[in-house]
């Protein structure tokens, strides 16, 4: 199956569905442009207050290596979660990849980028595209916590 046919199959036949994927792709392109900017990860209260509290997609990186790509309903609160320490951390990235120590991100060498995406269906598609993007290819893909039965 050619790449175009595979992409058409993923997008589906619905015009609305194709529109969602196109919009998601635009947000991913905007996020990809931010990777080389090396915006330092905000580590204190006043710096975190500059991050929008809107829903969106984001990445956390170290230099040019993207460590994590995710989506959230509140960008500021999610970054604060990643920077936490201990077993109460609600981030699978911090819990699994950083072994419950988000303070490792506070060394001044970590970067981040974020794009506000209001619509949840587009935000979910944008996260999927960002995780598969060759520039944003993350070292960690969110796994979440498994619920015990």
Does 148 have pLDDT greater than 50?
no
| Residue range 66-116, pLDDT digits in tens | 888 889 999 998 888 888 766 666 777 887 888 888 888 888 888 888 899
Query: Model's pTM, two decimal places?
Result: 0.76
DSSP H or E segment with residue 110: strand 110-116
Does 18 have pLDDT greater than 60?
yes
Domain map of the chain by residue range? 38-143
Q: In CATH, what class is 38-143? A: alpha beta
Taking Cα atoms as reference points, which of 63, 149, 73 lies closest to residue 118? 73
Rounded to whole angstroms, what are the CA distances from 47 to 13, 24, 40, 42, 76? 44, 28, 10, 5, 10
């Amino acid at each position: 199956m050619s790449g175009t046919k595979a992409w058409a199959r993923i997008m589906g036949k619905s015009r609305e569905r194709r529109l969602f994927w196109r919009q998601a792709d635009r947000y991913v392109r905007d996020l990809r442009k931010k990777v080389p900017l090396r915006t330092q990860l905000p580590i204190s209260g006043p710096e975190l207050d500059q991050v929008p509290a809107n829903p969106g997609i984001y990445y956390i990186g170290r230099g040019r290596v993207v460590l994590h790509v995710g989506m959230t309903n509140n960008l500021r609160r999610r970054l604060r979660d990643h920077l936490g320490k201990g077993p109460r951390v609600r981030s699978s990235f911090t819990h699994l990849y950083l072994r419950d120590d988000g303070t490792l991100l506070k060394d001044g060498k970590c970067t981040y980028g974020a794009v506000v995406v209001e619509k949840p269906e587009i935000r979910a598609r944008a996260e999927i595209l960002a995780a598969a993007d060759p520039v944003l290819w993350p070292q960690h893909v969110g796994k979440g916590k498994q619920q015990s039965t």
